[in-house]
Structure 1
Amino acid sequence: MTGEQKPYNQDKALNERLDVNFALKAARLGVWEVDPATSIVHWDERCQELYGMAQSNQILYDQAVRHIHPDDIDRVNQAVQLAIDPQGSGEYDVTYRTIGARDGRLRWVRFMGRSYANEAGEVFRFSGVAQDVTEDVLSRQRIELSEQRFRGLIKEAPFAIGVYATRELIIDMANDTMIKVWGKTPAVIGMKLAEALPELEGQPFIGLLEQVYDTNVAYQTDEQEVYLVVDGRLQSFWFTFTYQPLTNEEGNVYAILNMAVDVTDRVLANRRLINTEETLRGAIELAELATWSLDIETNTFSYSKRFMGWLGFTAETKTLDEALDTVPVEYRNMVAYTIDSVIQPGSSGRYENEHPIINRLTGQVRIIHTQAQLFYNEKGTPITLSGSAQDVTEQRRLQLALEQQVRERTEELEITNEELAATIEELAATNEELAATNEELTEANQGLAESNQHLTRSNQNLEQFAYIASHDLQEPLRKIQQFSDLLKTRYAFSSSGDELVYLERMQVAASRMSLLIKDLLAFSRISTSPAPAARVSLSRVVGEALENLSVAIDETNAQIEIDPLPTVLGDASQLGQLFQNLFSNALKFRRQDVSPQIRVHVGVVQLEDLPAGVKPTRQTAAYHSIEITDNGIGFDEKYADRIFQVFQRLHGRNEFAGTGVGLAICQKVVTNHGGAISAMSQPGFGAKFSIYLPV
């Protein structure tokens, strides 16, 4: 604090005080000085006025503080301490409130000054000037209050309001309604309008706002279409809005007030109404209807062009008498009376009539069917009878012709009834013949019942065979295999060796017999067990089948590619046997020195697009198509149906192992699931098995 300050020269300061005395009074500034050693405040009359005190050239600092507003005392004391702190800048500038000692008046004052230190760094003087800033503070508060009220009005307004500051159109204010209209969040406050709503590019609104800012001329429009990104997509809205320039005291534009009302629903409703009216006019023209109305007060008819053509009129309006002239004389009173009855108090207001009319130019007679509804004003007075008319001349002609035909047909029916009586006698004889035929049908039904019993016994026999195959036939084979193992041990060191050869052949035959029994057992179980209707994931079924064949897959270095598989209704165990047998065949019937390549392709086929010859056992709109293709040895396609039969083999046992039952099981599984299976192949070019299962 002492580094840049010069020593205090009291004589020079006194001269300066005398020189500026007039200026201080003119500016209504007071001067003050605090002695840091004694805490005595020396001040002039102006400072005393600011505290509302009687003339007293000096006062203790603590006494002066008593007349400071309680909420400002701490702030004033802190400012004084900072000003006289040797480590500080020495500057003092604080605005606060005083409470007049005599009048109790509240004043806003601003005391400014600084402290002075000697060469030793000791503060020996603290002085400055004082000013009454009550009007400035109150004016600023009024402005702030006005702005708060303005912002409050904007926020609570029932329609969308926003304020854009400067020509850069910075969003200074926007109520919740406007933010909702924009489809944004309050985070857009403070952003440029073009950045907050980039979708406005290419639309006229930014340019219009800049024009209002430049010209200070408001802009207003009705039903303007605006494209805004709301809920993540660009949508069309309609608004009635105003751009009002806001000016400062100098008349310069500093912001633009935007007020907008969403009229989208009204615009769309008007468009729907227009479309409805156009549709109605189109329907009227399509139905060849004419329209008309009667003004009750003036008794004047108005006609559409079609109606004018029927009547031979060239003007759209006619009096009641002129209109009735087109009705034949014998119908006029009836038409006039009916119209008069409808417009009387208490009537239903519904008019409907049918009568002839005569074209005044050509004399052509038409029969028209008219309908109308009476409309009232807000006082309940009938004002208009409005409706339509239809030319029913042709319909009535056809009706008369039809009535003539009915009479003729009635006469013909009387003759026919006589003929029918004779026919009934013939039918009586025929009924006797039918009774005899019914007896024959009864005998045929009895035959069918016997066939069903035979089929039931056949299924029971098949189940009994399955039991025998799983128990009685397997047991002797196990004995043969066990005893042959014992004999091989006994003749292990036989000199001739023929015994071991015979035993090995016997074991091979027994194993082949055991495998055949197991396959037949699986085939019989599938044949007699319908597939339950459970949801089965083919991905899991195929995965388990490949896991069971993992050793063969690794040994052959097979490459398998599978499309995503669907979920079907069926039995997981049976479907597992289906895919395991097909994959096993693809691995077994491979070409020498060529790694198996297996491809599973999945799709959906409509019923009408199924290949010729494919006949699923259950008909549905679509089928899952699962094609299993390999690069194996293939087969002659003339055997495509034979390979699905039991015990049918295309290769010798020494060439490829197997029982000839696997593909028969596959066909039975697919049949149980309401589908079909087919095969295509060429020798040396692999095979393709196509499975079709109901979706």
Structure 2
Amino acid sequence: MPSDSDSRPAAHGPETSLLHEERLRLAVEATGLGTWDLDPLTGALHWDERCKALFGVPPEASLDYDTFLSLVHPEDREHVHQVVQRALDPTGSGSYRLDYRAVSPRDGTVRWLSTSGRAFFDSNGRAVRFLGTVLDITERVLERQAAEREKHRVTTLLENISEAFEAFDRDWRFIYVNRETERLVGMPREQLLGRSHWEVYPDTVGTPLEHLFRRAATERIPLSFENHYAPWDRWFEVHVYPTEEGVAVLFQDVTGRKRRDEERERLLREQTHLREQAEQALRERQRAVEVLEHGEALVVVDKDFRIVLVNEHQERLSQTRREDTLGRSIWEVFPAIAHPDSSYRRAFRQVLEQHVPVQFEEYYPPLGLWVGMSVHPTSEGGLAVFFRDITEHKRAEQFRERLMGIVSHDLRGPLHGISLTTEQLLRRDDVAGPVLAGVQRIARSTERMARMITDLLDFTRARLGGGIPLQLRHCNLVELVRATLEEHEVTHPGRFVLSHAPGSYSGEWDPDRLAQVVSNLVGNALQHGARDTPVAVSLEHEDATLVLAVRNQGPPIPEALLPHVFDPFRRANHHSRQGLGLGLYIAQQLILAHGGSITVSSREDSGTTFTVRLPRHTPSP
């Protein structure tokens, strides 16, 4: 029994003590506690039934301290004994609290027990009583151990995965990082734990990544996405999970995969493009085959002039079968063109030597046909020769030119006689009144007819290939233009504005032909321009080139007609009887003969302008 110096409260009578003990017993039973009481002086040990059951000993067993130690797990026994001895040491606090394992002597069952107690000492400092409680915590310990094993397993897994793993509290402070995170960030975990995510990754602030992180934390939903982190120039696959502590983030470097995907997409686009090109090429080839087969007559020869391809049209035109021509020399199949000096051989040689297409027209006697030839080099070193029957066109052209030549020459003789007669009549003093007016009308009509015949002759010369002859001499373009305008001033006073920049306007030209060009352009402007607006004529010089521009206001030339303005016999007003429609054509031919160019522009706001660019020195023909 403890001495008077123990710390238990004094009794106040048998009834009170019994009531107190009964309440204590009920409380102990309710909590599942077992009680024990050790006499340190004798080693006698008292366990209640619950305590004996926890240690696996029968209710009737007698116990002492040594028996108790024998029931403790061998691995915990020495530690338990040391803790008991410290509790019984009068220099200590006398309190006792310890968790250890007990092994049942019946079946070897191991239980985890949690004990607590207190030692009581007499006045001499001897421990005279040691009592306390014991509680079965096996389930709790096993759960904790299982949790620790699971934590260890998860930690081991996280430390060995290839993905980076980070855990944050609700203030976005790091509470865990794995080895891969350390490697990517370039910092040991000791420098990361406790720091803010936004401090370690400042470039993510204000980005879509921050928005997604905060959304996962606020809405408590997992999110997955890909993100490019600019400071590292790397792509990551990111998974964000809400946790009890805050947020966990798993991310993996997918830059290689991303670049492979991009490369695969690029290759796919290229393949698609190439396939589309191939399909387009196939379609074009099919169309080309159709065109070649059913279009103009075609003969293809190799570098030795052996025929390798003939289309259907060529069979009809040449009246030969392709099976009779393939593999044979073109000179053998078409002997009429085989002469060494024939235009065909010259054209073929030019194409082979210069690798440029050549076009020409030639009469083919065996068939009595005029053919238009277009000869092209092939990639194999041969020739592709296109034939077009132009016989009817040639006949019509020759007939028209022959007719115009005859008409022009046959009319000029009688017209010259009429002109001389009218000149003589106009000099006579007795020709007056209505007779004089009639003679003047005859003179004007004769002049107009003479101009038309001159135009027809110029047209004939230009179309027959000889070209319009030029008589070159030194002259001044400003003086030439001014003189031409003065002639038109007689019938159209006040209609012309001439301007020119300072400088020299001298050159080697045919002044009569240039005057004809200016007259044709001015006459065209007067005829088609607005009657109440002037015709502006301007001159400029650009190094070795002079520029003449004739501009009139009025309705613009229709856009569809612009490409044909210089075509012969083309008139803007088909009902006009002012001429044959050769003026602009002849003007163009004369400027081309001088080595220059002539263009036209026509707009509603700026009117119609004919621009002539003329070199100072006409090149040799």
Question: TM exceeds 0.5?
Answer: no
TM range (shorter): 0.3 to 0.5
- Bigger Cα Rg: 2
Give the TM-score, by structure 1 length: 0.39
